[in-house]
Structure 1
């Protein structure tokens, strides 16, 4: 029996337990400890320092802010610096204990340096604020770091990737931070859940085809119990390049929770006014309920 088979058998057993929990504790699942308003308040503060373009002061302030919040919530934090294709990179890993986490929750936190999809050509060399793309997923993880107890999170790691969002800009490529993490670290978790662009008003979470379908079915079933089924759609038929790809290539079951249909993507309108507290709450509720069972 290979490792992947053992992982799937374990997750199947865990998911049966999750279904039993749903049957006997549906009232609990209607309200979790996750607070979307708190997450949004964190986003306001994160955005307050400006676009998190690599090698800028705003980027450095974001690294400090994320690190401070995690330490305040009782996590052990490692800043993992590196140089990728000539670009400085700081990934951030937070754990509860000294062992390697079995489950990784991940987000990128950088902002794209050029709003090259903006409808106004004169604005296409301005930085993207990154409130949804990079910001929303980051604050969901930060709020989860507050509400997950030591016991619930002992097998969980929170991973914040740098320089994910600079692809198709001369001298840059996509997902550089996650590739650097894979190169630097020997972690081989049992599961990776990536969040990306999860805070839009017209939220439709739809993993790409190159996501682990079995894991997503479990997450989707959890979302259904909150009556969030209109916002967690069946997987798409196309694959995308995102920070889960290096983990898939390493044989780690990985799922990308992404809302790719965002009209503000890579424009200057990816700002705080276009992020929804309710959308943050949906994702937070679903992940919190899922994690406390499988961890």
Structure 2
């Protein structure tokens, strides 16, 4: 999965930061952070059900039968919602040879052609020595993105939303150039066919299911997107999840950043079970997925408004 590129740093108190944002993570279950103003649209139980299905497929590395079953599951769930999922197949040159991979793309048309991408990788890291089912790493964000399709499909929108399930994010061997295959292919293909110009922003979800989740602003991400998402989290009462701290991450958002597209990575890197056999369902809290999903949904209008001023 991702690669941390810098140590954590504390930044100045933001408008969304109140109380002790660095409180002990074991002292505050995610259930205690439900927004009180109004019910948010993301259904934690639905996201949890999707996650159980995904983990039930076992390890899902790119090129595997379980990876294909995952893509088929995503397509079935989209069809049940009245949405079409299309595969973007490609051949990835890995250190172990060519591997067939495929992104899954779901488009929610808006009144405008400009697109906001919401993405997640669905593959798990190839491991030979143990069974890596990736409940959090690859599973939680994919389950949430499936649920977001349900939440967003009937909501009025100006910009088109494109949900992209990326294959091949995980490194084949050590983290270097042998990773983020799906996001790099998506950007390269969009450059070639001329459609990249309509992509105006990208929101990446990754490792969003851990109990007592704590997100830090990724300094590789676009500043104004960080500002909007964190201020939205503060408005919803999630300051203890969206911390006033920073990190830097190399992940599926980086190909978009390098292409000049504003992008943000929402990820909790401090996960002891990361890339271990212990990344299992018992480490997951459905409310963590709900909190992140609620914030993304609530932030989309402000993101759209900002993009309209950039014309």
TM-score, normalised by the number of residues in structure 2: 0.77
Find out whether 1:53 has 2:82 as its counterpart.
Answer: no
Shift of residue 226 of structure 1?
2.1
Shift of residue 172 of structure 1?
7.4
Superposed CA offset, 1:3-25 (max 9, x none) = xxxxxxxxxxxxxxxxxxxxxxx
Kindly indicate which of the two structures has a greater share of residues assigned to helix: 1
Q: How far apart, in 2, do the equivalents of 1:108 and 1:244 lie?
A: 11
Superposed CA offset, 1:95-137 (max 9, x none) = 02397552100000001112xxxxxxxxx72231111001111
Q: 1:274 to 1:183 in 2, by over 3 A?
A: same
Shift of residue 78 of structure 1?
1.4
Partner of 2:132: 128
Q: Residue 208 of structure 2 contacts residue 268 of structure 2 at CA under 8 Å; is this kept in 1?
A: yes
Which stretch shows the higher mean deviation, 148-157 or 241-250? 148-157
1:90 is paired with a residue whose SS is strand
Superposed CA offset, 1:205-230 (max 9, x none) = 11321111211111111111221101
Partner of 1:181: 186
Residue number among 145, 158, 166 corresponding to 1:161 in the alignment: 166
For structure 1, which runs of at least 5 residues remain unmatched after alignment? 1-26, 115-123
Partner of 1:193: 203
1:270-281 map, 5 Å: 270-281=279-290
Q: How far apart, in 2, do the equivalents of 1:294 and 1:252 lie?
A: 13
The alignment of Structure 1 onto Structure 2 pairs a total of residues equal to: 259
1:143-158 map, 5 Å: 143-152=147-156, 155-158=160-163
Partner of 1:290: 299
Q: 1:287 to 1:241 in 2, by over 3 A?
A: same
Partner of 2:17: none
1:261 is paired with a residue whose SS is coil
Q: Residue 109 of structure 2 contacts residue 161 of structure 2 at CA under 8 Å; is this kept in 1?
A: no
1:9-24 map, 5 Å: none
Find out whether 1:90 has 2:106 as its counterpart.
Answer: no
Shift of residue 275 of structure 1?
0.9
Q: How far apart, in 2, do the equivalents of 1:220 and 1:31 lie?
A: 19
1:216-227 map, 5 Å: 216-227=226-237
Q: Residue 126 of structure 2 contacts residue 172 of structure 2 at CA under 8 Å; is this kept in 1?
A: no
Find out whether 1:268 has 2:268 as its counterpart.
Answer: no
Superposed CA offset, 1:223-252 (max 9, x none) = 112211011123524x32100000000000
For structure 2, which runs of at least 5 residues remain unmatched after alignment? 1-34, 305-311
Q: How far apart, in 2, do the equivalents of 1:218 and 1:207 lie?
A: 11
Q: How far apart, in 2, do the equivalents of 1:160 and 1:138 lie?
A: 7
Q: Residue 228 of structure 2 contacts residue 303 of structure 2 at CA under 8 Å; is this kept in 1?
A: no
Partner of 1:138: 142
Residue number among 109, 112, 127 corresponding to 2:122 in the alignment: 109
